[in-house]
Chains A and B, each alone.
Chain A
Amino acid sequence: MDLLAFFDIAVLDGTVRLGVPLLLACLAGLYSERAGIFDIGLEGKMLIAAFLAAGVSFTTGSVWLGLIAGVLASVILSLLHGLASITFRGNQLISGVAINFFASGITVVAAQAWFGEGGRTPSLSGAARFESIQFPGALTRIRDIAKADLPMKVYSELLSGHTIIVYLCILIVPFVWWTLYRTRFGLRLRAVGENPGAVDTAGISVYRMRYSAVIICGVLCGLAGAYLSTGLQAGFVREMTAGRGYIALAALIFAKWRPWQALGATMLFGYLQALAIRPDILERAIGIRVQTQVLDALPYVLTVIVLAGFVGKAIPPRAGGEAYVKER
């Protein structure tokens, strides 16, 4: 038994890397669902952003253009979701599923037509990819870091060596909290998700609020997807989101639709994923060998526990999933 092993720096570093795309997708879902639009299309939007970010980065040689393209693609899908579920009052779940299927298919077909490499983009290098930012004096190679002492490990591995999106992410949670709870826009956004009728009576357009929410959702999903293919990886591979959009949704429920808790939930889920790839550390920490599948399943198990009401109550926004009808 060595409980300190749970705080292995390499695992914490992995937590940050794996947690960031979950956090961005989770906050994307938070905006959308707080405005009353359920969105299970997070996965599809991340996927299409990952693809276009990698494709455009490779073609233009600039990762920033790739990022913009990825975000745009994600926003377009968001608007499609908005059109179906806000303007045409369609079922939000069905529209979300459709987006996931669409993205899963179109990315492979387009990648094959564009690059002819079997639904992949070529490997990105140089300026076509987000390089990790190294702090002065930090070690860059994992092999050197593994031999370094603790403060150096924390500095080189945990603090230094991430891409710019990760550092921006530190600011994003307070920003989301501030917009939701301290601005007029946030108040209206939350109200639209709870009681759109009241918002409408106050003379504010429900449609406009909901469209702004899905656009923000698209931007954040786009960032998450672009980070996967151009930050964490150097290229797109089909289905590379591998269910992260769904884990982000689980995290959103776990966090009960609140920004700071979303940070905690996504980092916890990221931590579980990072721990799952280090069975040796887990064995050192608790003294017995645990199947990694148990850790992989934990995010979903925890979500079910929360949903079942064992840890407080997870109450979704009251008007969530319902199209707003102005006049009957």
Chain B
Amino acid sequence: MTLVTKFLGASAALALSAGAALADPAIIFDLGGKFDKSFNEAAFGGATRWAEETGGSFAEFEITSDAQREQAIRRFAEDGNNPIVMAGFSWATPLAAVAPEYPDLKFSIIDMVVDAPNVQSVVFNEHEGSYLVGMLAAMASEDGTVGFIGGMDIPLIRKFACGYAQGALAVNPDATVIANMTGTTPAAWNDPVKGSELTLAQISQGADVIYAAAGGTGVGVLQTAADQGVYSIGVDSNQNYMHPGSVLTSMMKRVDNAVYDAFKAGADLEAGFNVMGLSNGGVGYALDENNADLITDEMKAAVDAASAQIASGELVVHDYMSDETCPVLDF
């Protein structure tokens, strides 16, 4: 039955126009894979939400090696999928090569900027979300020392750290922020053992709230924090459920919203910059039944007030990537 529908649909679409045979949107995931509990899964969630709400269908592909990138974009472009969304900063180079060849199609890239008239570049204000969880960390901390554990030492992760430190110091100017990076190679995203060691080291230096922006390494951070009875903060997706009562909150990066919006816009997707920040629900902190007891009304009020100020532009959080320096944290 489905097959018949597909054939009918395909022939009907072919009859209508040869240029855009199938106007279904497409999404291509990065190497982490569709079910990574984090970035890619959020993207998949956004696509699924769109499909459920509109009853539409979308094409998807998970690459298994870097060599497939250009080929994957080209395949969807040849099929006439529109728009084509790709999740991850590594897509920039292949997309910059392919996009000009298909001027009638729209592309959207998440986490990176590609300058082309038919590409929408979605970037997130992670420093704003990190600022909010930094405030929560400083308010939850008893001793005034909070920790940050990053994955690979790249500017994007320093952006998280810098926003976090600014938030913590805004609440408690005497707070100490300890920041560590796991490593300088991609292996740093998947080294929970080192994540645990870093967590223990930070706890012995007095930290009692630790924010992990480190992919799979964060699993070790959250685990050790739970074992040692201190708070931790998750990242990207809502990770509160991983250790209820120990994960203070999670800095949410709404990749799902970015994908959902792109799919919804369809062929009318607006090219250019799309900055997802606090003002348009692109970032935020997670509050659910798992951490309801940890976030007091007072904390919530303070953070929501700051959130409104940032959204209105009254309060500006320094973005590490704007000038590669951080005024409050020395790396």
Which A residues touch B187, using CB under 8 A? 239, 242-243
How far in angstroms is the closest Cβ of chain A from B41? Answer: 7
Is the pair A18, B197 in contact by a Cβ cutoff of 8 Å? Answer: yes
B53-61, B200-208, B317-325 - the one binding chain A: B200-208
**Can you name the residue of chain A whose Cβ is closest to the Cβ of B188?**
A242
Q: Determine the distance from Cα of A237 to Cα of B223 in the docked complex, in whole angstroms.
A: 13
Are B192 and A237 touching (Cβ within 8 A)? Answer: yes
Q: Give chain B nearest CB distance to A218 CB in angstroms.
A: 21
Q: How far, in angstroms, from A215 to B206 measured CA to CA in the complex?
A: 45
What is the minimal beta-carbon distance from B146 to any residue of chain A, in angstroms? Answer: 14
A242 contacts B190, C-beta separation under 8 Å: yes
Residues of B within 8 A of A143 (CB): 203-204, 206, 208, 228-230
Q: Is B328 interfacial (CB 8 A cutoff)? A: no
Assess whether A242 is in contact with B191, with CB atoms less than 8 Å apart.
yes
Q: Please determine whether B193 and A10 come into contact, CB atoms closer than 8 angstroms.
A: no
List 19 A-B pairs, Cβ < 8 Å.
A118-B41, A120-B37, A123-B223, A142-B203, A143-B204, A143-B208, A146-B204, A228-B193, A233-B192, A233-B223, A237-B190, A238-B190, A239-B216, A240-B190, A274-B197, A277-B180, A279-B180, A280-B205, A296-B184
Most chain A CB within 10 A, of B190, B192, B205, is at B192
Partner of B223, one of A141, A146, A234, A242: A234
B35: which A residues are within 8 A, CB to CB?
A: 112, 116-119
Which residues from B are CB-within-8-Å of A280?
Answer: 178, 205
B29 CB, nearest partner CB in chain A, Å: 11
In the complex, A146→B205 CA distance in Å?
A: 8
Question: 1/0 contact trace for B219-250 toward A, CB 8 Å?
Answer: 11001000011100000000000110000000
CB proximity of A267 to chain B, nearest CB, Å: 15
Q: Across the interface, do B190 and A233 meet the contact criterion of CB distance under 8 Å?
A: no
Q: A240-B191, A242-B193, A277-B198 are in contact. List 18 more A-B contacts (CB 8 A).
A: A14-B197, A14-B201, A21-B193, A117-B35, A118-B32, A123-B242, A142-B203, A145-B204, A228-B193, A233-B193, A233-B196, A235-B223, A240-B192, A240-B193, A242-B190, A243-B187, A277-B180, A292-B181
Q: Is B183 an interface residue (CB 8 A)?
A: yes
Cβ B203 vs Cβ A293 within 8 A: no
Closest partner residue, chain A, to B33 (CB atom): A118
Q: How many residues of B contact A (CB 8 A)?
A: 37
B74 at the interface (CB under 8 A from A): no
Q: A14-B197, A277-B197, A296-B183 are in contact. Are A142 and B228 (CB under 8 A)?
A: yes
A292 to B38 Cα, complex, angstroms? 28
Answer yes or no: A232 CB below 8 A from chain B CBs: yes
In the complex, A143 Cα to B209 Cα: how many Å? 12
Query: How far does the alpha carbon of A123 sit from the alpha carbon of B222 in the complex, in Å?
Result: 11
